[in-house]
A and B are shown apart, each in its own frame.
Chain A
Amino acid sequence: MSWFIQTCTSSLGKKYIMAITGLMLGGFLLVHAAGNSSIFWGRSAFLSYAEHLHSLGPLIPVAEIILLSIFLLHVITGITLFLQNLQARADRYAVSKPAGGRTWGSRTMPYTGAAILLFILMHLFNVHFIEHNLPIADTVNAVLSRPFYTHLYAAGMTVLALHISHGFWSLFQTMGINHPRYNTLIRIGGYLFTGLIIAIFLFIIFLLLFSPGYLM
């Protein structure tokens, strides 16, 4: 077992953890976006989707615990990397200029990560840690019909897009996949993945703002 712990605590091991948990969270996002797209088919489709999910019974808390573990692993490893990297250059440069490699996504990775954490907490307090005496369609409608939340959710999606724009390519590089033959595919795949997920969520957000009775 010691080799396993040694690998996980090495610099490369922590990157593997970020990549694998990031991929899993990306998978969750895709499923979440696909499930939520049932909203496009109206109130009854959305409620039926929610009902089907809840009929899974004991599988739900199990899935929640697995998701929470993956998420915590991603966050804690991310914070560890962030602090170690700050330490690795204790004295900053007086003049610092990007040499052409960094992108908006890559340079803001820890900060977009922190913002996404706050966003997810807000989202959970809106739809999860509440009294479940209303149908979920009414809860979602109540939140997203208010422009204040539209702004917050749209901002959250923008930050998420920025985070994935670096994370998607980065996870392939970390897992050792970098070859001229596949690099274009990975880049385009990253744009499509990010674009698809963000488009679904943004569409729902604005649909419920501009058409308040849509889920009634």
Chain B
Amino acid sequence: MKIWKRARQVVEESKKKPSPAQSGNKPATVQLAAIKKDLTDIDDAVFKDFQTKEGLITVVYLSSLIDPLILHKAIILPLVNEQKEVLKSFDPMDGSNKEKLIMSIVNGDTVVFHHEKQQYLQAHTFSPPERPVSTSEMESSVIGPQDSFTESLKTNLSLIKRRIQQTGLKSKDYTIGQETNTKISVLYIEHLVNDENLQRINDRINKLDFVGFLDITILKQLVEDNPFSPFPQYGATSRPDVAVNSLLDGRIVIAMDNSQSVMVCPSSFIEMFNSPEDFYNRWTTATLLRFLRFAGFFITIMLTPMYISALSYHPGILPYELLIMIQESRSRVPFPPVIEVLFIELVIEILREAGSRMPTKIGQTIGIVGGIVIGTAAVEAGLISNTLIVLVAISALLSFLMPNFLMSNASRFVRYIFILAAGLFGLLGQMLALAWLFNHLLNLTSLGTPYMTPVIPRSWSDLRDSIVRFPLAFLQKRTGLSRAKREKKPTK
């Protein structure tokens, strides 16, 4: 990792010293030895000399970032065969800027040094191993395009750009991360995007001060409006069709190298319950499913707390038969309902966590352990009641309904607040917690736009694409959320 520090030192030094160009002298070309010195102890750095007609030529590159076949075809073969004018096919570089030279080597380019002319040339040979475009595992769908983003920024950009074929689609590149120098690309459609939004996200990216970016989720947390909230404030997707749909709505999409999902901003609470399939399904099906997901969120955070408050504080709220049934099922349980619920909810969390960490082949064990040991044995032992197992299973399933994984995690966290509130104050506690939740959501913003649109309506037409997904003919306006420059979508 020495090279990074070196590169940064060089940057700092060059900032301190006035550059030779400013002082008036002709800038001196960096000596090859200086580059060699910077690349010491990087064992995959290759320096190869070729004697050609035009003179001695040295080729410098990092072998781990370059496919040998490409290198061979593009550089070595032409040089060895002494093809005419071969050097002209490479881009000339500013030989005096050592930092830039080193950065391009580190980025995976091949730098060619012509000894006689004292000239540096550059060839784009960056070709690390990449996985091919495959179907999305995070957001799979039955109908609609199946391709998904990969970890390569170039591939991701091509997946988006081949869907929007016009020059209005802009992609601005930034390099972020003090140590990792990660490339990101901010995509937007120029004549649609709201300038204020764009300005805001650019400012935030420029202000970033963080060591390393391993995934876009890190960037997302750093540029969020309220970092303390349990809720994700920007959309994330690994599907190009969703990204394109948001671009067409005037949103901003940010893609990052080495990250297989992109982020969409701004984004609203209700959109976290939208699945890409909603637009491919008929509107009736889409509406039904959206309603299910949205109601699912509130049921999943309210169901087990309801059990607590009904049994601990308000037994009168249940009809007689239901009360008898529940009481019978927990007649042998020695704990108060709160402890019972907390216990089984934690067990479910543990099962989930263990299941996701375990190699797939042992994964079946989890099913057996979870199903038989926890399910049957715990009930028979009298640790928990049957009814509660059903409720917990339902609320766990409901939390998976949300297409957005971070939202599903948020619902898991929020549920515990409700459980504790119900344990403390029964139904009143639950309602107070609900009031807290709504107040929190209402005050959240996503890139300065209210998170709870269209409850806080930016424009009434937003309601047509909220829980009810109107037929596409009605969705003529862009959402008020994105504050697009052109509100109406073009008709014919």
Decide whether A and B assemble into one complex.
Answer: no
Q: Which residues of A contact B (CB under 8 A)?
A: none
